[in-house]
Structure 1
Amino acid sequence: MLDRARTHQRGKADFISIRIEEVKNEDIVYKPLLSMESFEAADVAEGHAVALAELEKAGVTRTAAQNGISALLSLPDSLRGAMIFDAVSGKRLDGLGQRGVRVSKMDCADSGDYEADLERRGLSGEHVREALVLASKVAGADDIIAELCWSDDPDYITGYVASSKFGYKRIPVMKEMGSPVGGRIFFVKEETDLNKLCSYLQEQAVLISLGGDDNV
């Protein structure tokens, strides 16, 4: 993470904040690593069509899915966190503007096994490593229906749709090459307790297990 902050494609960071906090073993929650499937897409339009279909498959209405894609396309700059949308109505719920909701305090339970698993899939690099762990934590929340994301790195155009039902769907083209704008949206159930959800996303320490263990 420190190396990425120092060498990010969007430019040099104004400052880097590192937080070190003791976490007791009994406070850690384990969630399973999402299964992964890669799709093909020749251009952005095809990528968005795949994303739309996968969001609907996961339980997001077409209206909400279309609203989500449109919201990311209309961003003036990248979000620092995620937007939260109602998976039925497609309305934004978090009210946090460009700040969004940050997801933190997660990692893989066994880094060596995780890296080896990615190598077997022919995947490498911090983008997919971090995204799959983050998506697995997010999908582990009770009220999350699905997640939509594409990167803000100008030279990385891959994105994904993720859900607890169908796993991590990697889509190779979700924006134009050179675009510095990206973001993510969490689609949630109606009547979701946003305070409880945000507490889990921001404060709950989670380790992602390749074995599929889930203790919550």
Structure 2
Amino acid sequence: MLYSIRMRAAEGGPHEQGGHHISGAERLVTKEELEQISSELVHRALTHSKGCADFIRITIDAIPDEAIHRIPCLTIADEQTDGHIGEVPTTNHEATTPPLPLSSHQQAEALLTTHTAITPVAFRRAVSQLVSLPESMRGAMLVDMRTGQRLDPWGQRGVRVSRMSFADETAAITALNAAGYSGVHLEEALVLASKVLSAPGVVGELCISDDPDYTTGYVSYGSTYHRLHHMKPVGSPLGGRLFFVDATADIAAIKNYLETTVTLVNPPTFSLQGENHETL
């Protein structure tokens, strides 16, 4: 039997009472690991770059084996950009094809609109909504892949992906390190992105980290997770996630799957080993 352990931390009181989000993390662990992981998550909440939490909630639930859903891990690709943060074009501006290498936001748009049914209008409208928020959402927006219109009614909370972990964290970290990747940001994002794309109706994701010290984001679609550098200025606490979905999809079913289905992600595999990757 495994246990789901989840941590949420805020400054100024609980999130529901207007507290400023500091950190959130979770794991699926064995009984023997609970004490150590609990301590690590509390330490993370107290030493985060966004501030020192004065509200920390740890939730632990036992998970029966038959409730666990297993999925493959996305393949990692690193995209080269020109090192500049791309401005999001307005929806009434017809963009021309820029010379390579692209800026981060241009590369994100090119990847998602070339390889999926997500339209340029939808991408630009959705990203404009995200970067215009006064503060980061606690979850993700569900947006129409053709229009960019937000489809979920859950405001600043959005959809929160939960109850997930690598099936074998040691094996996953070993595989990532052997390929030249390391760092908790990548490990957690890869698990989350893999679960998101396994949800029925989700065709792609864009993520900009809300960690002030971490500027690498990603887009994912199909079976691939594309890392994109310089997605925001260093020091910015703003970020968030966009889940692009088919408007005919069952929004409530997507939310239920992402928030409640206990999911184990198989360790990643690599055909070629890389080197000198970002280690944040």
TM-score per shorter chain, which class?
over 0.9
Is residue 48–residue 69 contact of structure 1 (8 Å, CA) maintained in 2? no
Counterpart residue type for residue 156 of structure 1: Y
Q: How many residues align?
A: 211
Is residue 140–residue 242 contact of structure 2 (8 Å, CA) maintained in 1? yes
- The structure 1 residue matched to 2:124, chosen from 63, 66, 69, is 66
Q: Distance in 2 between matches of 1:112 and 1:209?
A: 11
Q: Distance in 1 between matches of 2:203 and 2:229?
A: 22
In the alignment, is residue 12 of structure 1 matched against residue 69 of structure 2?
Answer: no
Q: Distance in 2 between matches of 1:189 and 1:140?
A: 14
Q: Distance in 2 between matches of 1:166 and 1:69?
A: 22
Give the 5 Å matches for 1:109-188.
109-163=167-221, 165-188=222-245
What is the deviation of 1:100? Answer: 1.0
Which residue is 1:196 aligned to? 253
What is the deviation of 1:211? Answer: 6.9
Counterpart residue type for residue 67 of structure 1: R
Q: Distance in 2 between matches of 1:173 and 1:39?
A: 11
Which residue is 1:54 aligned to? 111
What is the deviation of 1:151? Answer: 0.5
What is the Cα-based RMSD across aligned positions, in Å?
A: 1.3
Using the size of structure 1 for normalisation, the TM-score is 0.94
Q: Using a 3 Å threshold, how does the CA distance of structure 1 residues 12 and 211 change in structure 2: closer, same or farther?
A: closer
Counterpart residue type for residue 70 of structure 2: Y
Which residue is 1:206 aligned to? 263
Counterpart residue type for residue 194 of structure 1: I
SS in 1 for 2:241: strand
Q: Deviations over 1:14-53 (max 9, x none)?
A: 3111111111111100011000100122111200001001
Using the size of structure 2 for normalisation, the TM-score is 0.73
Give the structure with the larger strand fraction: 2
What is the deviation of 1:55? Answer: 1.3
Counterpart residue type for residue 25 of structure 1: D
Is residue 200–residue 249 contact of structure 2 (8 Å, CA) maintained in 1? no
What is the deviation of 1:166? Answer: 4.3
What is the deviation of 1:6? Answer: 2.2
Counterpart residue type for residue 151 of structure 1: S
SS in 2 for 1:180: coil
Counterpart residue type for residue 71 of structure 2: K
- The structure 2 residue matched to 1:44, chosen from 85, 91, 114, is 85
- The structure 1 residue matched to 2:166, chosen from 105, 108, 116, is 108
Q: Distance in 1 between matches of 2:249 and 2:234?
A: 36
In the alignment, is residue 75 of structure 1 matched against residue 133 of structure 2?
Answer: yes
Consecutive unaligned residues in structure 1, runs of 5 or more = none
Q: Distance in 2 between matches of 1:99 and 1:32?
A: 28
Consecutive unaligned residues in structure 2, runs of 5 or more = 1-24, 26-40, 87-102, 270-280
Q: Distance in 2 between matches of 1:208 and 1:120?
A: 18
Q: Distance in 2 between matches of 1:162 and 1:84?
A: 15
Same amino acid, percent of matched pairs:
44
Q: Using a 3 Å threshold, how does the CA distance of structure 1 residues 193 and 102 change in structure 2: closer, same or farther?
A: same
Is residue 43–residue 173 contact of structure 1 (8 Å, CA) maintained in 2? yes
Q: Distance in 2 between matches of 1:4 and 1:126?
A: 11
What is the deviation of 1:4? Answer: 2.6
Q: Distance in 1 between matches of 2:256 and 2:77?
A: 29
Q: Distance in 2 between matches of 1:211 and 1:133?
A: 10
